[in-house]
Structure 1
Amino acid sequence: MAGKGEAVIFDMDGVIFDSETLVLNCWREVAECHGIRNIEIACHECLGTNSAVSKQIFLRHYGQDFPYDEYKAEMSEVFFGYASGGRLKKKPGVEKLLKYLKESGIKVALASSTREAVVKKELEEGGLLGYFDEIVCGDMVKRSKPEPDIFLEACRRLRSEPKKCYVIEDSYNGIRAAHAAGMHPIMVPDLMEPTEEMQGLAETILGSLYDVIGYLEPFYLDA
């Protein structure tokens, strides 16, 4: 294979689905009901992390007696009220990119901090499940992003070396994790604008998923 790539690993929330915006809006609804201040700050810090880490972030912001589990369940109920049944909006260009990778014979995996049951349900309802050779979720590894565990496990399952894998991420924690794993991080920003740190850790920062095909093509000419 030409170039340095043989596999592409996707994050899900904010990359495949426009779910992070919806989650934030659902948290805003819950916050308004319960008088929770500055919910956006906590939510932004949680981007890319699994449920256990997200809980600790909320407790750090609002105190150890903050009823996170109760409010998270309330937020999830609101979220699925909007998103279930295939109504979760896909990010522009995602189906074109996945189809290109599939037709090119490039290995594709998903590495999402979201729970496996939710990930597979959303992918199936969105008609995207069949594009992925492997799926690794937040409840399948011990350490959350920004640690590299979930990406390394995806590589192991794909039987690919990290240095030959591209990762498509939107969150700071995801880019940190991909970089720590020794992969090629591609940042496609969603809620958070790239910082100087991200410019240093990401191999490239692209405006949309449509731009990813053009970026990857030179590395997959013989795919």
Structure 2
Amino acid sequence: MQCVVFDMDGVLFDSEKLVLQCWEQTAQAHHIPDIQTACRSCLGSNAASARQKFLEKYGADFPYDTYKQEMSARYWQQVETGKLVLKPGVREMLQFLREQHIPAAIASSTRRAAVRQQITLFGLQDFFRKIIGGDMVQQSKPHPEIYQTACAAMDVPPACAYAVEDSYNGIRAASRAGMHPIMIPDLLPPTPEMEQLAEQIFPDMAAFQAFLKASQKK
């Protein structure tokens, strides 16, 4: 395998839970019902797609942009106070890939600037050769564009790259791009569809690293 492309939220950082918590606080303040369902439907989606999903659920007059800004302010306040944490095994995995000379990239539905801000906060920026954010592509996951873009940027055929994902839309996108999808579940449990689309499903990053180590020995 020539490279590994990581999703960010829910894969590198335990950020999905933090976003959900901030949406719940915003929903409580404004009496927005069933916010968990709305948020879970957006996992793996970029900003434009998430906005559309909220409007479909709550109506065209729903003040999404206002609430999203409020939620985002809460989120970054949490980040600044140290509430954002790395997922277990991430730093060890990135160090292992560096030692094996396997390049890594990020393909995240989050804006590129926000991705850079968060990985820099944890000193991870030098581990990634390329960062593709959701604002750099036209189509949101499950469309394969972001993974196609990442593979092109890395100059690696999709068939020679792993894509590490936690969301259904992410696994669908990686599969449609012709990559080798790896699922490490976060908020969403594996489904029969995910078991079919993912090449492997691991409980955590350490298990994926062990799989790569074993693959290197073959």
TM range (shorter): over 0.9
For the residues of structure 2 that align with 1:97 and 1:213, how far apart are their CA atoms?
6
Tell me which residue corresponds to 1:214. Answer: 210
Q: Contact 1:6–1:220 at 8 Å: present in 2 too?
A: no
For the residues of structure 2 that align with 1:87 and 1:43, how far apart are their CA atoms?
20
Task: Provide the TM-score with structure 2 as the length reference.
Answer: 0.97
Evaluate the alpha carbon distance shift between residue 114 and residue 91 of structure 1 in structure 2; reply closer, same or farther with a 3 A threshold: same
Quick one: which of 131, 151, 162 aligns to 1:135? 131
Residue 18 (structure 1) aligned with residue 14 (structure 2): yes
Q: Contact 1:11–1:110 at 8 Å: present in 2 too?
A: yes
For the residues of structure 1 that align with 2:57 and 2:42, how far apart are their CA atoms?
11
Quick one: which of 161, 164, 167 aligns to 1:165? 161
Residue type of the partner of 2:149?
Answer: E
Q: Contact 1:86–1:125 at 8 Å: present in 2 too?
A: no
Match of 1:16, SS state, is coil
Tell me which residue corresponds to 1:45. Answer: 41
Tell me which residue corresponds to 1:97. Answer: 93
Match of 1:220, SS state, is helix
What is the alpha-carbon root mean square deviation over aligned residues?
Answer: 1.2
Structure 1 segment 177-192 matched on structure 2, within 5 A: 177-192=173-188
Q: For 1:54-93, what per-residue CA distance to the aligned partner results, in whole angstroms no more than 9, with x for missing partners? A: 0000001100000000000000000011013765200000
For the residues of structure 2 that align with 1:165 and 1:58, how far apart are their CA atoms?
33
Greater than 3 Å deviation, 4+ residue runs = 218-222
Residue 125 (structure 1) aligned with residue 137 (structure 2): no
Shift of 1:217: 2.4
Q: For 1:129-181, what per-residue CA distance to the aligned partner results, in whole angstroms no more than 9, with x for missing partners? A: 11001110000011110000111111011110100000110000000000000
Which consecutive residues of structure 2, in runs of 5 or more, have no partner in the other structure?
none
Quick one: which of 195, 200, 213 aligns to 2:196? 200
For the residues of structure 2 that align with 1:22 and 1:114, how far apart are their CA atoms?
14
Shift of 1:221: 4.2
Task: Provide the TM-score with structure 1 as the length reference.
Answer: 0.95
For the residues of structure 2 that align with 1:118 and 1:84, how far apart are their CA atoms?
13
Identity %: 49
Residue type of the partner of 1:63?
Answer: G
Moved more, 78-87 or 125-134: 78-87
Quick one: which of 76, 95, 100 aligns to 1:80? 76
Evaluate the alpha carbon distance shift between residue 170 and residue 186 of structure 1 in structure 2; reply closer, same or farther with a 3 A threshold: same
If asked which structure has higher relative contact order (CA below 8 Å, sep 6+), I would say 1
Q: Contact 1:88–1:126 at 8 Å: present in 2 too?
A: no
User: In the comparison of the two structures, how many residue pairs are matched?
Assistant: 218
For the residues of structure 2 that align with 1:86 and 1:174, how far apart are their CA atoms?
27
Which consecutive residues of structure 1, in runs of 5 or more, have no partner in the other structure?
none
For the residues of structure 2 that align with 1:156 and 1:218, how far apart are their CA atoms?
27
For the residues of structure 1 that align with 2:82 and 2:115, how far apart are their CA atoms?
12
Residue type of the partner of 1:180?
Answer: R
Match of 1:133, SS state, is strand
Residue 55 (structure 1) aligned with residue 51 (structure 2): yes
Match of 1:153, SS state, is helix
Tell me which residue corresponds to 2:142. Answer: 146
